[in-house]
Structure 1
Amino acid sequence: MGISVKHISKSYKNVKALQDISFEVKPGELFGLIGPDGAGKTTLFRILTTLLIANEGTATVAGFDVLHDYKSIRKHVGYMPGKFSLYQDLTIEENLEFFATIFGTTIEENYDLIKDIYVQIEPFKDRRAGKLSGGMKQKLALCCALIHKPKVLFLDEPTTGVDPVSRKEFWEMLKRLQEKDITILVSTPYMDEAALCDRIALIQDGEILQIDTPEAIVKHYPKQIYNVRANNMYQLINNLNAYKYNHSVYPFGEFIHYTDSREDFEPADLVAYLESKNLLHIEIEKTEATIEDTFMELAK
């Protein structure tokens, strides 16, 4: 069972949080909603998990309508909100037992589904949730979202504020859950995580910019990108922004990602310009586009 979203719009007074959003998530797919804070990701998740009502449009989750079948949806989905929302004063085990009881099941009944995750926190099962590290809170929240064996799993920015090792472990867990025929919709502001999804939707200011596989989105980037570096990076970015032929200029790690507006661009021309600005040790080389480059281009 997948997800179908058709022309969903949502406003808060004069602010349009979502504008005519449409997409499909196939059964068993790991689908990513990629965008910065304020893009509308959480609003969409709350609509799909029946916590908010859209102003316009329709949506179904696991075959159930979000408006008319909200009780059925709540039985068949797992939801992990962006903010840790479990009971801080309860232990790991008590939180898990509580959520299992709510859904009329037990930890033992669905233990096979959470085993890979739970064994990592089980040694601390008597520790209160409020005393857990970010990575352990994340694993507990995922266990609680899975304990009733949902058909669809919603994860709203699950790795925000979590260390890199825990982020990597978390995505490995998602891949294993996908093998159990669970449809997963995950949102993230991290562009590097987008490449781990089957398909992604890039979202900005409540609008979908593009939907495709990560590979296809990167492949269709319209220009050649150059890595540019010099002795004074602050001056370099200012000089590149002032260059009359620049198409885009973005900091990217130890380089500046630069694209030129001319079809017949020659790097030597840019080197000469930068040397005239007294920059030294200038390096310019071709590089491949990333999802972040594509997002920045589409959001311009």
Structure 2
Amino acid sequence: MNGSGPVINVRDLNKSFGALHAVQDFGITVERGRICGFLGPNGAGKTTTLRMLCGLLTPDSGQGEVLGYDVMSQSDLIKRRVGYMTQKFSLYDDLSIEQNLIFTGRVHELDRRAARVEAALERLGLVKRRRQLAGTLSGGWKQRLALAAATLHEPELLLLDEPTAGVDPEARRTFWDEIHALAAEGMTVLVSTHYMDEAERCHEIAYIAAGRTLARGTADEVIDGSGLTTFVAEGAQASDLISRLRGREGVDMATAFGTTLHVSGRNRSALETAIAPFRAPPIVWTETRPTLEDIFIQLVADLQREAV
């Protein structure tokens, strides 16, 4: 790493594509060995942000450093030291696992290519499948291969763009165990995800929407800073109350979760007044700590109201 300090320290980054302002005044600081989760709806600017941070896109404006290099003028130096795993599998279907890794090593002009490939195969449990064509792999095995390729050059910073989309829960769990192992060895990881359980496995999270950062911190910090009070309604037909509660003063959000109903608001007194008429058997109401999903649904609702 060039210099000392945070692995990522950027501020006021902007990127537009024509009339679309994809990223607006984005800033983030990430220390070495941390796992930072990017969350947000489709079109929020997550992929554009990751591509700026890994040197594939140059910001229109802004300042800061990635791995000690200037994000505006030293993108070539950043690219060589960052691993980037795209959302879409981007390796060669007609090459085997081993051939894909050998090719990746040649592209990066790596030394000790054979040793690096062997270590990657071993680490990610790919040894027995080394001669299997990539195109015949399931989503979980493709994910392991893509991670092996992204880390073959031993980057200090790893950027992952929705890496577990479409992957079964067991493969997701295995993947995250590996990510935490890499972070424990000093690698810094930024990962975009739609899964709340994955967000909770990150050391810190940033919620991005409409190109802006709306919330940032650990999961507990984001929850504590939300200002939300949440009640859960359980019982027969609890979810039927949604239409009767939405729009009432004090109710910022009413959403069904299976057979339960989550009702949240930032004004506790007004919220309690709103639900009071419905506090009767067979429905049981309990106050609960807001979840990340409660908060992110609320943030999306806030944006929608702003746009009206």
TM score, norm. by length of structure 1: 0.89
CA apart distance, 1:170: 0.8
Do the aligned residues in 1 keep the contact of 2:64 with 2:71 (CA within 8 Å)?
Answer: yes
- Pick which of 152-161 and 244-253 moved more: 244-253
- Pick which of 96-105 and 65-74 moved more: 65-74
Are residues 1:250 and 2:251 paired? no
Aligned to 1:179: 184
Tell me the amino acid that sits aligned with residue 175 of structure 1. Answer: H
CA apart distance, 1:290: 1.2
> 1:248, 1:207 → 2: CA distance?
21
Decide which of 179, 200, 205 is 1:195's aligned counterpart: 200
> 2:208, 2:89 → 1: CA distance?
24
SS of alignment partner, residue 115 of structure 2: coil
> 2:164, 2:232 → 1: CA distance?
29
Tell me the amino acid that sits aligned with residue 189 of structure 1. Answer: H
Aligned to 2:282: 281
> 1:266, 1:39 → 2: CA distance?
30
Q: 1:98 to 1:203 in 2, by over 3 A?
A: same
Tell me the amino acid that sits aligned with residue 296 of structure 1. Answer: I
Aligned to 2:4: none
Q: 1:262 to 1:52 in 2, by over 3 A?
A: closer
Do the aligned residues in 2 keep the contact of 1:107 with 1:147 (CA within 8 Å)?
Answer: no
1:2-51: CA deviation from partner (whole Å, max 9, x where unpaired)? 11221111111111111100111112211111112111000111112222
Alignment of 1:123-202 (within 5 A): 123-202=128-207
> Which 4+ stretches in 1 moved above 4 angstroms?
110-114, 265-269
CA apart distance, 1:274: 7.2
SS of alignment partner, residue 108 of structure 1: helix
Tell me the amino acid that sits aligned with residue 240 of structure 1. Answer: L
Are residues 1:74 and 2:75 paired? no
Do the aligned residues in 2 keep the contact of 1:114 with 1:147 (CA within 8 Å)?
Answer: no
CA apart distance, 1:252: 2.7
Do the aligned residues in 1 keep the contact of 2:10 with 2:28 (CA within 8 Å)?
Answer: yes
1:169-208: CA deviation from partner (whole Å, max 9, x where unpaired)? 1111000001211111111122221111111111111100
Are residues 1:235 and 2:235 paired? no
Structure 2: gaps spanning 5 or more residues: 2-6, 303-308
> 2:266, 2:213 → 1: CA distance?
26
SS of alignment partner, residue 28 of structure 1: coil
Tell me the amino acid that sits aligned with residue 10 of structure 1. Answer: K
Q: 1:297 to 1:285 in 2, by over 3 A?
A: same
Q: 1:186 to 1:114 in 2, by over 3 A?
A: farther
Aligned to 1:18: 23
> 1:163, 1:51 → 2: CA distance?
30
